[in-house]
Structure 1
Amino acid sequence: MTRLFTGTEQFFRPGYRANLVDSWLPALDGVVDKLIAGAEVADIGCGHGVSTTLIAHSFPNSTVHGFDYHEGSIVRARELATEQALGNVDFAVASAADYPGDGYDLVCYFDSLHDMGDPVGALRHAHETLADDGTVMLVEPFAHDSLAENLNPVGRMYYAASTVLCTPSSLAQPVSLGLGAQAGEQRLAEVAAEAGFGSFRRATETPFNLVLEASH
């Protein structure tokens, strides 16, 4: 099991390092300016904290909180933050539906929302803990809105991973929505709307990622 979590960290790390600070965050409306000035950030389902520590390292005036319900991942995330001597990041064991705090300027889900049993509930909690002018960033595997459009090399890879890991994980949790790794923008927009968000758009993309922005 440890190898699964370590493998997940190693799989996502290169993409986050290449894109998160240089292209994904700048694609969001006004978020970089807030991060430079000093923002409160929550990284939900942070795993080993690769995304969390990247934001903390790049924006030292901001405070970044990483939450994950897997205690072993939080232990590893704290180790990574200590290795980098980051003083503006902290980690806690908490689920997407009950993580603490409010008034967050940015709430992030990096390849985690579709794994959750209750993504609507998770986003509803984000809606409740977000500042009035705050932003939610969803990074999800790239997917079109129909099965036929996703029958390409990238889509086939993600369907395979989703069948083995993502969908069973969701189905094993309360609500068991089972979005899967190829939910697509339209389905994710429906989830965000059900959670109470009035604004939802595709901020940017890569061949492997959809970067989606939601706000009140």
Structure 2
Amino acid sequence: MTQVDETKLNELVGRVLGDLGGAVSVPLVRIGDSLGLYETLKRIGPATAEELAAAADCFPRYVREWLAAQAASGYVQHERGSFWLTPEQAFVFAEPDSPVNMIGAFDTAAAMVENQPKVQAAFKTGRGVAWGDHAGCMFCAVARLFRPGYVNALVQEWIPALDGVADKLKAGVDVADVGCGHGLSTILMAQAFPRSRFTGYDFHSASIAAATAHAKAHAVTNVSFEVGRAQDFAGRDFDLITCFDCLHDMGDPKTAAVHIRKALNKGGTWMVVEPMAGDTLEDNINPIGRMYYSASTMICVPTSLAQEAGLALGAQAGEKRLTEVIRSGGFTKVRRAAQTPLNMVLEAT
């Protein structure tokens, strides 16, 4: 019988207990967000459970237990029966435009759990799980997950890091956002560069409908959305084509790269935003890699395997592999133009 190292065992058990605490926090965080408990506590705190319940129009006994769980998790502060959010806690849970708002990650985690039966079955068959067949809230969850990075870096840092692209956008050019999802990235660019014209493409018709409604709600007139695949969308003569966190989800990203190259004007740029990753598993044994590998297992790989070719790059493909795919489309220059802890921005010409 193998001898167990008690110290290592206790360390592992401690880590698993911490993980379980985080896992069971997922529904509580989503309840706090949906009922406005975080936002209300930020506004009125310090407050007792009864005061927060009254302000949020909730039943006090539930709120008291919820606050106790939040305090135990370190998500709210507590002293002598009063609760409040520190500025840092508010930045994570109560400020939608914060660069580190994490609510979308909790929503995505919940959708991953809901997807388990379909993905588990695919482990046996090798088949994929189509994007449109994932849990109903997956699409809004993913949009919300990526929103903080886009809101805080897309226009401010990523586009200025591309060679000459910001000046073109200011003057007025045609742009395609391929794999646009709910259109957040497309609309942010359209708002920032009103002289340019933006078209968002996605193969998921429900996402295109949501993007169209989103643009209408924000009265953005220089943007439109169409159903279209990365391999054969209809538009041509673009000066900039963007792909945000979607190249690794495609079944046939190499054919997409070829088509995108043909759809660009001479001198045009392809901006590829992908999850941050090193080129080897060893490079990605860290908290970011852990999160992305898990999401990739439950979302990205099944989505790719459900499509033709099913290359299944995965969310941690790494810059070297992504560059190979991009170059296969006829691009001769690929460089990392910018990065954040969660994303890398590649510029291809």
Partner of 1:91: 225
- TM-score computed with the length of structure 2 as normaliser: 0.61
Distance 1:70 1:172 in 2: 13
Asked if residue 166 in structure 1 is aligned to residue 292 in structure 2, the reply is no
- Which letter maps to 2:180? C
- Gapped regions of structure 2 (runs ≥ 5): 1-134
User: Counterpart in 1 of 2:239?
Assistant: 105
Q: Which has the higher contact order (CA 8 A, sep 6+)?
A: 1
Q: Identity of counterpart residues, as a percentage?
A: 53
Which has the larger share of strand?
Answer: 1
Report Cα offsets for 1:41-96 as digits up to 9, x if no partner. Answer: 00001000000000000000000000001000000000110011111000000111
Give how far 1:14 is off. Answer: 1.0
Which of 34, 51, 69 matches 2:168?
34
What's the counterpart of residue 280 of structure 2?
146
Q: 2:212 aligns with which of 78, 84, 104?
A: 78
SS at match of 1:106: strand
231, 247, 260: which one aligns with 1:126: 260
Count of aligned residue pairs for this structure pair: 215
Distance (Å, rounded) in 2 between the aligned partners of 1:18 and 1:129 = 28
1:192 CA drift (Å): 1.1
CA deviations over 1:6-29 (Å, ceiling 9, x no partner)? 101111111100000000000000
Give, in angstroms, the shift of residue 2 of structure 1: 2.8
Instruction: Tell me the residue number matched to 2:320.
Output: 186
What is the CA–CA distance in structure 2 between the aligned matches of 1:39 and 1:54, rounded to whole Å? 16
Say what the alpha-carbon RMSD is for the aligned residues: 0.6
Letter in 1 for 2:283: E
Are 2:337 and 1:213 aligned?
A: no
Read off the aligned partner of 2:294 and give its amino acid letter: A
Picking from 44, 69, 75, the partner of 2:203 is: 69
Runs of 4+ in 1 over 2 A off after TM superposition: none
Residue 101 (structure 1) shift: 1.7
Please report the TM-score for the alignment, with normalisation by the length of structure 1. 0.98
TM-superposed deviation, 1:102? 1.2
Residue 115 of structure 1, aligned match among 245, 249, 252 = 249
The corresponding residue for 1:135 is: 269
Structure 1 unmatched runs, 5+: none
Output the amino acid matched with 1:49: G
Equivalent AA in structure 1 for residue 266 of structure 2: D
Which structure is higher in helix share?
2
